[in-house]
Homo-oligomer: A and B are copies of this chain.
Amino acid sequence: MKRESVGLVRTQIYRIPGEVPLEHGDRLTGVEVAYETYGQLNRDKSNAILVCHALSGDAHAAGYRDGEEKPGWWDAVIGPGKGLDTRRYFVICSNVLAGCKGTTGPSSTNPKTGRPYGLDLPVITVRDMVEVQKRLLLHLGVERLFAVVGGSFGGMQVLQWSVSHPEMVRMAVAIATSGYSSPQQIAFNEVGRRAITSDPDWNGGDYYGRAPPARGLSLARMVGHITYLSDQSMHEKFGRRLQEKTEYSFQMDLDFQVESYLRYHGDNFVKRFDANSYLYITKAIDYFDLAGGGTLAEAFRGAKAKFLVISISSDWLYPPYQSREIAEALASNDLDVTHCEIRSNYGHDAFLLEAGQMNYILSDFLSHSSVGDVMDRGVVTIGLGASIEDAARLMMEEEVTHLPVISEDGRLAGIVTAWDISKAVAMKYTRLREIMTHQVMTILEDDPLELAARRMKDHDISALPVLNGEGKVLGMVTSDGISRLIGICR
């Protein structure tokens, strides 16, 4: 299938009304969230995927912004025909709280002082970032995510989502990440922070409107950059090749391509990132420890999502054993978890670079959805003894056109539709059992989504009650709700 671009995009801002309470007690007012969306939200609002970005990412995950030559940071994976297929899914990406790409962060104006927060911004946690994302989703009308997906620090947000709001997450895809920051990860982050705070231009975080701590931030980025690559990929990419010279300079200057590359990217980073945001985000990463005082297995006790955990063979910053720990903790709670390992020499960055493997794994996982993954669980039913008037009133109130009719033992007895009600008025029936359809087409929770779609199409019906193995009604799927999710490419 041809993979296309989402085309021209625009970053939007949502200003959260009221206060945003933070995990450790503080409250923020006037919080703004920068976000982008790709694709269309379906009528059921059941096809939304939240993409969570990594340390230096932003809301611009795909497509092109006006006047820019480079596409969004995960353009390889988001778009028509790609792993996160925007013909099916409504993809949302927002800049994290404490970031510097449009969402409130240390460089934003503190409403109390009228000046940039700097270090007056309270320390932000991954849980706080997820709360802000949740507020954005509700603003967009999304009450339940089809999936939440992210790599690296984005994967930490995915895991936090799955335990903070289990009822809002159908599927969770955590890539090249960990359930906690390890001491080595903390150590590298601390070096980055120390580089920034050692720069005299940092000035206690109060440098806005003046020269930023460019040397410190550049240095922090250089260290980070090394950890994103693998030894092997550096051999392939740079070897011991010299930069624009044929012999060693025998000067205390740069000689090798790898030095030049790191300096270039370090210096470039300063143009697009705020040093204080680097401090806040790395601190949030360090604090991240889903297990808290307990075990990771205990942490996932309340989770409900179907999980995909992806590790990268050559990733030494978030090594595969940390993905295995997540998968094992999930499995110990009898959660549905798949663990894939991407074979790559690219190191941690492979989740951004191995487009082929990422697209395959993501589209395979997401499209192999079962009815239970996407059904509307908040289904309204009516008892078999109810009157036609009761049914009509309930349909009006709940804005539904189909009502499953439940017998006293809780099993499905039939279904009644708005069309049946009008028929009753015309024919002067008064009892539900006289007008309802008795032979109801149903589908099981674990049946594949494709089967539900085919059944509705074959029988020309627009909704199916979803039953468990005992015949109890768990929810409904509608043709509208799943039409965008399936069958486009197969």
Which A residues have a C-beta under 8 Å from some C-beta of B? 24, 119, 122-123, 180-184, 186-188, 190-191, 193-195, 198-200, 205, 215-216, 218-219, 222-223, 226, 229, 231, 234-235, 237-240, 248, 250-252, 254-259, 262-263, 266, 279-280, 283, 286-287, 289, 316, 319
Contacting pair A216 B198 (CB below 8 A): yes
**B-chain residues with CB within 8 Å of residue A219 when the two chains form the complex:** 191, 194-195, 198, 219
Contacting pair A187 B234 (CB below 8 A): yes
What separation, in Å, do the CA atoms of A235 and B263 have in the docked complex? 31
- Known A219-B194, A240-B180; judge A123-B252 contact (CB<8 A): yes
Q: Separation in Å of the A214 CB from the closest CB of chain B? A: 9
What separation, in Å, do the CA atoms of A215 and B215 have in the docked complex? 13
* Interface SS, A side: helix
Contacting pair B123 A250 (CB below 8 A): yes
Which partner residue on chain B sits nearest A24 by CB separation? B250
**B-chain residues with CB within 8 Å of residue A289 when the two chains form the complex:** 240
Q: How many copies does the complex hold?
A: 2
What separation, in Å, do the CA atoms of A148 and B434 have in the docked complex? 100
**B-chain residues with CB within 8 Å of residue A223 when the two chains form the complex:** 191, 223
Contacting pair A226 B188 (CB below 8 A): yes
What separation, in Å, do the CA atoms of A182 and B257 have in the docked complex? 12
- Known A226-B188, A248-B287, A319-B231; judge A240-B119 contact (CB<8 A): no
Contacting pair B191 A222 (CB below 8 A): yes
Which partner residue on chain B sits nearest A204 by CB separation? B252
With most chain B CB atoms within 10 A of its CB, the pick from A194, A256, A286 is A194
With most chain B CB atoms within 10 A of its CB, the pick from A218, A223, A255, A262 is A223
Contacting pair B215 A198 (CB below 8 A): yes
Contacting pair B198 A200 (CB below 8 A): no
Which of B186, B188, B239, B248 meets A256, CB within 8 Å? B186
Q: Which 9 A-B pairs have the closest CB atoms?
A: A198-B215, A183-B234, A183-B258, A183-B238, A190-B259, A123-B250, A24-B250, A184-B231, A187-B226
Q: Separation in Å of the A12 CB from the closest CB of chain B? A: 30
**B-chain residues with CB within 8 Å of residue A198 when the two chains form the complex:** 199, 215-216, 218-219
What separation, in Å, do the CA atoms of A223 and B220 have in the docked complex? 11
Contacting pair A240 B183 (CB below 8 A): yes
**B-chain residues with CB within 8 Å of residue A123 when the two chains form the complex:** 250-252
**B-chain residues with CB within 8 Å of residue A255 when the two chains form the complex:** 286-287
Which partner residue on chain B sits nearest A181 by CB separation? B240
Contacting pair B187 A262 (CB below 8 A): yes
A-B contact pairs, 8 of them (CB 8 A): A122-B250, A181-B240, A182-B234, A183-B239, A183-B256, A184-B231, A255-B286, A256-B286
Q: Separation in Å of the A269 CB from the closest CB of chain B? A: 13
Contacting pair B222 A262 (CB below 8 A): no
Q: Separation in Å of the A445 CB from the closest CB of chain B? A: 39
**B-chain residues with CB within 8 Å of residue A258 when the two chains form the complex:** 183, 186-187, 190
Contacting pair B263 A226 (CB below 8 A): no
With most chain B CB atoms within 10 A of its CB, the pick from A190, A239, A266 is A190
Contacting pair B234 A194 (CB below 8 A): no
What separation, in Å, do the CA atoms of A119 and B251 have in the docked complex? 9
What separation, in Å, do the CA atoms of A128 and B178 have in the docked complex? 46
What separation, in Å, do the CA atoms of A280 and B251 have in the docked complex? 10
What separation, in Å, do the CA atoms of A255 and B187 have in the docked complex? 11
What separation, in Å, do the CA atoms of A123 and B248 have in the docked complex? 10
